[in-house]
Structure 1
């Protein structure tokens, strides 16, 4: 078993399973595109990329029929056409209730780019293995974030023997911003914007993967030293780690709410489907007591 590990002088903050995201609105459901800044399709221009599927945005009639098929009744389809037509303008036809209002209709309904980059944009260097339509079924792609770097790892899991390969990496200084996207199925989508303005839209295997990735990519990185904790928080951490296997990484985050989030993980205990999960965690107030959750704490 060969599992990637950070260098001796860096700290692994998160490792989670991610892929390029997939469209959710009916017009772009199950599809994705790779675009330049003029909205041209660039997937055939990406060096080393194997051939992949080519998609076309669905027209309104196709959207209505697709929605009707979900209900499985022609009469119900006819009865709901008027409502669906009114929703089609917002692009949320058929799934408005679950997805809500798109934040960027041009990129979430009318089109669904998961890569947006000029000719020399950093996003163009991302590996093709992030695309579920191209990646072998035996391989998983993980996003690893340290206090120095951001990497994409390819993990082969044949015969229960995981084996890592570094597919891509960049310095944290090349990341301008990260944002969780509300308009996505199961709250899994997020975007990474690079310093050159290019960006990608990724999806975690689940919402916890998404949250772990975006928390790790915050800038400046809000990690605290254990010595900065109050006596009550020190005691709470001691209790949290009692009985846990030694040798893990303790990560302590100061959150905008004033709460402190603590996570304990072992960097070599990788689940191919998920990545590295928390072996113990706690959200605490200044006294070390369980804190009331505020948006953005985790």
Structure 2
């Protein structure tokens, strides 16, 4: 068993299971593309990538049939064609109610790029193992964020023998922004944009993976030290850690609401399905009391 650990002078902030995202709107559902800045398909040009599936955006007639099949009846299909035709223009056929309004129709409905990269840019160096359609079923990929680096690890889907392998890394300073995406299934999607303008769209194993990843990639990193806490907050943290195994990492996040989000993680306790989760966590107000959640706290 080989578990990746940060260097002695480095702090592990997050480790979560991720992969390239998957389209949710009907025209691009269950599909993804790899594009250059002219919207050309570049997957055949990515060095070392094995061959993968080729997708085509669904036509309006295919969208109607896909929706009609779900209803399970031709009569109902005919009755709904008029409504579906009007929805098809926006690309939200069949799931407008659950997905809401796309933030970027050109990238979420009309097309679904998960890699957007001009030649010789950072996103083109991302490992093919992030692609669920190429990655072996017995393998997982984890995104690791430290105070210095961002990495992608490959590992076996086996709690007793993870066998970490570093597939890719870049300096943390190469990341400009990580943004959560609202137009997706299960609140899992987010994008990472690099200094050269290239970006990728990833999906966490669940919404907590996405939230841990994007919070850890905020710039500037909003970490506090125990000395930054009020006496009430210091007491709350001390109580939170009672009975917990020593040697873990305590992370204190200053949030825009003035609340403080506290997590305690054991860096060597890796779950292939998730990554490294919190052994304990708390959202506290300036007095150290449990705080009411505001958008952006987590």
User: Shorter-normalised TM-score: what interval?
Assistant: over 0.9
Contact kept, 8 Å, 2:18 with 2:209, in 1: the verdict is yes
Residues 46-81 of structure 1, C-alpha deviations (whole Å, 9 max, x = no match): 000000000000000001111111222222211111
1:164 corresponding residue in structure 2: 164
1:282 corresponding residue in structure 2: 282
CA separation of 1:263 and 1:159: change in aligned 2, threshold 3 A? closer
Displaced runs of 4 or more, over 2 A: 157-160
Contact kept, 8 Å, 2:157 with 2:273, in 1: the verdict is no
CA separation of 1:159 and 1:122: change in aligned 2, threshold 3 A? closer
1:148 corresponding residue in structure 2: 148
Report matched runs for 1:122-201 at 5 Å: 122-157=122-157, 160-201=160-201
Contact kept, 8 Å, 2:159 with 2:271, in 1: the verdict is no
2:64 corresponding residue in structure 1: 64
Contact kept, 8 Å, 1:157 with 1:163, in 2: the verdict is no
Shift of 1:159: 8.4
| Equivalences, count | 298
Residues 1:75 and 2:79 are matched in the alignment:
no
1:10 corresponding residue in structure 2: 10
1:262 corresponding residue in structure 2: 262
Residues 195-246 of structure 1, C-alpha deviations (whole Å, 9 max, x = no match): 0000000000011100000000000000000111000000000110011111
1:90 corresponding residue in structure 2: 90
* Structure 1: stretches of 5+ with no match in the other structure: none
C-alpha separation between the residues in 2 aligned to 1:86 and 1:199?
32
C-alpha separation between the residues in 1 aligned to 2:168 and 2:244?
33
Using structure 1 for the length normalisation, give the TM-score: 0.99
Aligned alpha-carbon RMSD (Å): 0.9
C-alpha separation between the residues in 2 aligned to 1:181 and 1:73?
34
* Structure 2: stretches of 5+ with no match in the other structure: none
1:108 corresponding residue in structure 2: 108
Shift of 1:160: 3.7
Shift of 1:248: 0.6
